[in-house]
Structure 1
Amino acid sequence: MHGYVHKRLASTAAKLAVAPSAAKAFPPPDAIHNPRTFEPDTYAALQPPPASSLSALAHRLGLGLILSPTEVQQACTHSSFVSFYQKHYPKEPKPASNANLASLGNSLLGLFASEYVGASYPYMPTNIMKAVVSGYVGSKTCAAIASEIGAAPLLRWHRTPPTPLSPAPLLLHDALSSISRSIIALVYQHRSLPVTRQFVHDLFLSREVDTRAMFKFRDPKKALKLLVDKFNRERPISRLLSETGRFSNSPVFVVGIYTGADQLGEGFGTSLKMAEFRAAEDALLRVFLTRTPPEQLSLPSSTFSPTQSELYKPRKRPEPEYIPGEIGMEEMLYASSGKSGYLNPTPSLRD
């Protein structure tokens, strides 16, 4: 029986990246004296990760000279683990959690992602912009990045049931996302805001997000008409560009939408209505997804000085110049999301 418990404990510890040599006492006395009541999973989850694994994580991110193993361990310790640890080791010191670090890192990620998306897509509706920001730095993205950098085996957390203050239960990706946010906060604490911004751009904002799939239009034809009115252009007109198999069981129609002599969009479908719908949708996406060229992109945070300076002394060098981008049109009130109840434009919008 003792050999079986020892083998099971070793296999469980190996899965959680906790080496038996890193444990204080292996095998623990409870595994020898009470093998039937002993829980290897709980014991392995309570053990701290080895310092070598923590140091390896910091070096994989290029932060080996900045972060100590103790700081990396705190970044990998979710707040749910504290009560779980004190329940089994009430006399031991309370482990440091990443609650404050994750909150600070989340604010920094939101700042950098919001200004980047807003400057890159000046005509994007607000609801879609929020979804794109979540796609760059949301909880699932942070959890995926934590897994990619090899931080998942180092996570210390405890699954908690729903409470009146937290109706949703704590899931693995929620706890895992706190690691990425905490690392951002540690970079900010040890370095400056511009360095943190560059780190976020390299690790988060350099990824591709499918912004086109985030748009859902109830009636793109009406939305396009309002959009054209805002630009004081002629009323959009649909034109059949080509067709094939009209009298067969698989026809294909290609429709283009024009305002004057300019083509706004193009779509195809098995019916004229479907092709016209897709053409109007394509025209809207061409405007909303208009992107600022990278060489012309200017961010407000680029004015922050990369060097430390005293508060009440004048700067030796002038502040970097910020050239704001073009301000897009006001928010579309109809058909940019399914929540709008706006149906007809007012006379002021027509004028």
Structure 2
Amino acid sequence: MSFRSLIRPAAAALRQTAASPAAGTLRTYATAAAATSAPTALTPAQAAFLERNKLSFSSPDTLLQALTHKTYTHGKTAYSERLEFLGEKALDMFVSKHVMDKHSDLSADAFRAAVAAYTSPMVLTQVGRSLGVHEAMRWNTNIGKGAENGIVAKITKALIGAIYHDKGAAAAQKFIRSKLIEPTPVNVEALANVIDPKRTLVALLARRQLEAPVTKVLPAVGRHVNAQVTVVGLYLGTRKLGQGAGPTVEVAEIRAARDALAKCFATDLAKPVQPGEVSKLASEEDLTFVEA
């Protein structure tokens, strides 16, 4: 499979989402009254956010929409969901290009794992916090402090989408490279060399004194709907570590384990799993996380 065929869907989505009926007009979920109101002044924290990160936008409303979660004023203010979708597509495409350029000999599974390692919610939260997103974003704090990290990750993607929409692809690519790719320590070679992802995952969880995950079969969505595939998620309690799809549960589990390694344990792989850590485990083919 060529790199062009891998990124074509993302590129098409970017073109479709970035296009607007009126040039330079950013469509929002705002009410008509909000859409025609004067630009809103930035708070000192938001102005400092722009200055600290050397960002600029054609209108402060673009930044404010990117920084606004839909829980803020219960969706009555233009919020970030569309920009988040655009940012996610841009992120996937430019990170995929980076990985392909640097590691052109990766298998398809290792390629997906490397991209997932750079674009995981955990990494996006870390990047967002390093930028100060949590200090500038607008959201309903009454939904609970535990939701903050997830919202920071979403707002970070929306910020990328705002840059892509307002400044173009080159500016978004530069931002992704300098703020996300270069500071993120992903050992792509270690990810590519994982032979037994399920056994490796169990060993790394044990290092953190955690139990093995549980497999849950998930509804098929998107490209999987009309295909003969099984989609599974690997869970620790209510936390989903990874997700994978395949013709059988066994194959889907392997891909979900590789996804979990990329998203949650990429840095742990710097210290290789030793034979003693997996000696008591079943073989990769026999090991399963499906509850009896």
| TM-score normalised by length of structure 1 | 0.41
Looking at CA atoms only, which structure, 1 or 2, has the larger radius of gyration? 1
